[in-house]
């Protein structure tokens, strides 16, 4: 096999339906990479087009496509992909306890899928064996061998995929059009498959899968926040329009992972007030101009009560409303107004 001089072949890893995979060294950047040689034919050309779209994706939760090259072997010229080498293990069914780390795993998968869908790609084969975790704890979605562009080539004449992860609409005998909601369905099945007991409602393991009853997943996901369970049930709907966007799932998981991790600071009358998980209430009064009481519920900073004239960023706020994470509170009107800054730290979910 003759490669461009930049790459040095290390060893073969696997051979699959779409080609062979090798470990290589990128001598320009001194890093290990994966070389995927595509077999000739129409399917390889289609896959190459799909992979080019991945050049636009910049997500730490999606395997990166670095280069598209030509190689020579036995007098023939083939196309090949240079992909990110992930030094880590593949996710396996039953590898997760139902705890915060489980939510973080689902969040990372949802982040990767959000980036994929935002780039107009349908992955089409989301499952644990197509997700690896690197040495830094980052989850990476890989294997785009079945991927399609949304709206252009999203159709099939045969049921293609991994049976238990395939959405019910893919089991039709006639020509089937699909969209990225099939990845959302597979995401929910993956969530069930990853938990330690691997218990999944029997109706979902049928070919084709049946419907689950509202609330049925409560038994299988005890201890997980109810709104997340509800979203996963919606992901499994046979009505594709009722499946949530993966970005909604990502945001909901992010919200729970940041529970009780925010801090807010206010400075008034020379005093500093801090709201956090250990100090959840504050009451600020500025002379006779106005008074406001704020509560931190672990997710947001909620106005409990107020009197006088108090606005946030020059807008009236209602009791029960969440304050913006950074705003200016104004007490009073006209020339007698007083201002207080309300600043909230913005923690991030880290793998």
Strand ordering across the sheet containing 139-141: 88-90, 131-134, 139-141
* Number of compact structural domains in the chain: 3
Q: Which has the minimum average pLDDT: 46-50, 93-97, 253-257?
A: 46-50
Residue 175 has a pLDDT of 78
Give me the DSSP letters along 283-322: EEEETTTEEEEEEE-SS-EEEEEEEESEEETTEE--TTPB
Strand 31-38, strand 76-84: pairing: antiparallel
Average pLDDT for 303-330: 95
Binned at pLDDT 50, 70 and 90, residue 40 comes out as: low
Is residue 201 located within the same domain as residue 329? no
Is residue 286 located within the same domain as residue 313? yes
Last residue of a domain, one of 210, 237, 257: 257
CATH of the domain at 191: 1.10.510.10
Residue 243 has a pLDDT of 98
Is residue 106 located within the same domain as residue 205? yes
Model's pTM, two decimal places? 0.89
- The alpha carbon of 324 is separated from its chain's Cα centroid by a whole number of angstroms, namely 24
Is residue 275 located within the same domain as residue 240? no
Q: Which has the minimum average pLDDT: 46-55, 87-96, 314-323, 336-345?
A: 46-55
Q: Which domain holds residue 233?
A: 88-257
Binned at pLDDT 50, 70 and 90, residue 79 comes out as: confident
Mean pLDDT over the full length of the chain: 90
Residue 173 has a pLDDT of 73
Last residue of a domain, one of 60, 84, 108: 84
Q: What is the pLDDT of residues 123-133, one digit of tens each?
A: 999 999 999 99
């Amino acid at each position: 096999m003759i490669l461009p001089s930049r790459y040095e072949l290390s060893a073969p890893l696997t051979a699959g339906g779409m080609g062979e995979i090798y470990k290589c060294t990128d001598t320009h950047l001194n890093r290990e990479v994966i070389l995927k040689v595509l077999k000739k034919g129409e399917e390889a050309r289609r896959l190459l087009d799909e992979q080019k779209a991945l050049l636009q994706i910049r997500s730490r939760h999606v395997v990166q496509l670095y280069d598209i090259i030509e190689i020579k072997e036995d007098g023939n010229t083939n196309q090949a992909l240079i992909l990110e080498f992930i030094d880590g293990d593949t996710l396996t069914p039953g590898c997760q306890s139902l705890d915060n780390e489980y939510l973080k795993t689902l969040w990372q998968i949802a982040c990767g899928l959000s980036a994929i869908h935002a780039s107009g790609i349908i992955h089409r084969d989301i499952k644990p064996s197509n997700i690896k975790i690197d040495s830094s704890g980052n989850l990476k979605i890989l294997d785009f061998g079945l991927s399609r562009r949304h709206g252009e080539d999203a159709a099939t004449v045969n049921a293609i995929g991994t049976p238990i992860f395939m959405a019910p609409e893919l089991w039709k005998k006639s020509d089937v059009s699909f969209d990225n909601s099939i990845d959302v369905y597979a995401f929910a099945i993956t969530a069930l498959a990853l938990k330690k007991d691997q218990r999944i409602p029997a109706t979902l393991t049928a070919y084709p899968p049946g419907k689950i009853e509202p609330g049925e997943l409560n038994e299988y996901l005890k201890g997980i926040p109810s709104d997340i369970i509800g979203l996963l049930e919606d992901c499994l709907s046979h009505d594709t329009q009722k499946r949530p966007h993966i970005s909604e799932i990502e945001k909901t998981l992010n919200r729970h992972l940041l529970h009780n991790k925010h801090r807010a600071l206010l400075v008034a009358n020379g005093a500093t007030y801090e709201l956090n998980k250990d100090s959840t209430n504050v009451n600020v009064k500025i002379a006779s101009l106005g008074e406001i009481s704020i509560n931190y519920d672990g997710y947001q900073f909620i106005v409990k009560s107020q009197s006088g004239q108090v606005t946030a960023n020059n807008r009236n706020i209602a009791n029960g409303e969440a304050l913006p994470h950074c705003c200016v509170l104004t007490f009073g009107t006209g020339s007698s107004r007083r201002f207080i800054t309300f600043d909230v730290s913005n923690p991030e979910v880290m793998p």
